[in-house]
Amino acid sequence: MAETKFVIFKIDSERYGLPINRVERILDNQNPTRIPRTPKLVMGVFELRGETLAAVDLRARLDFEPDSAPGNYIVINGAFGRAALRVDGVDGIESFEDAEIDDSPAMLKSCDDAFFNAIGRKNDRLTVLLDADYLLPEAVAKSVQKVSKVAA
């Protein structure tokens, strides 16, 4: 049986996971510089080792109420380039065997957004596994690409 590793994080009390091969690093809370006229999900930008990264509010993306408490940023590589996703906290890395991963339920696949990939089941806990390539809506992905090009 094959196993896949995910970086597990929380938003409120819900558990989410991103494939570890798409995660570059995890950062403590940052203070992004707001960029006018960007989509609301884009919190702004910050500098990381000489490069400018777009900071995206994953709480807003997943329709959670705003929260100004400090959190973590997960730097990911997606089809749109690099971005830093603001989450409430990171729990760590967890492996799921193939048998512990269920395809995304039909109701989620019928949504316009394809970022729900699957559900992980382990130790009586469910984890929503996300697809890094489709995590950002098209308008936000374009903004992130512009930031990446400007920084390059």
Q: What is the pLDDT along the chain (152 residues), one digit of tens a residue?
A: 689 999 999 999 999 999 999 999 999 999 999 988 888 889 999 999 888 899 999 999 988 998 888 899 999 998 888 999 999 999 999 999 999 998 866 655 555 567 888 899 998 999 999 999 988 888 888 877 776 655 54
Rounded Cα gap, residues 20 and 111, in angstroms? 25
Rounded Cα gap, residues 81 and 78, in angstroms? 5
CA 47 to chain centre: 18
Rounded Cα gap, residues 107 and 139, in angstroms? 24
| Residue 88 confidence (pLDDT) | 97
| Structural domain count of the chain | 1
| Residue 67 confidence (pLDDT) | 87
Q: Are strands 125-130 and 14-19 parallel, antiparallel or unpaired?
A: parallel
| Residue 111 confidence (pLDDT) | 56
| Residue 68 confidence (pLDDT) | 84
Would you say 87 and 71 are in contact if contact means Cβ atoms under 8 Å apart?
A: yes
| Residue 125 confidence (pLDDT) | 93
Would you say 32 and 46 are in contact if contact means Cβ atoms under 8 Å apart?
A: yes
CA atoms within 13 A on the CB side of 134: 11
123: left (phi over 0), alpha (psi -120 to 50) or beta: left
Q: Which domain range does residue 97 map to?
A: 3-151
pTM here is 0.89
3 state SS of 41: coil
User: CATH no. for residue 129?
Assistant: 2.40.50.180
Would you say 88 and 149 are in contact if contact means Cβ atoms under 8 Å apart?
A: no
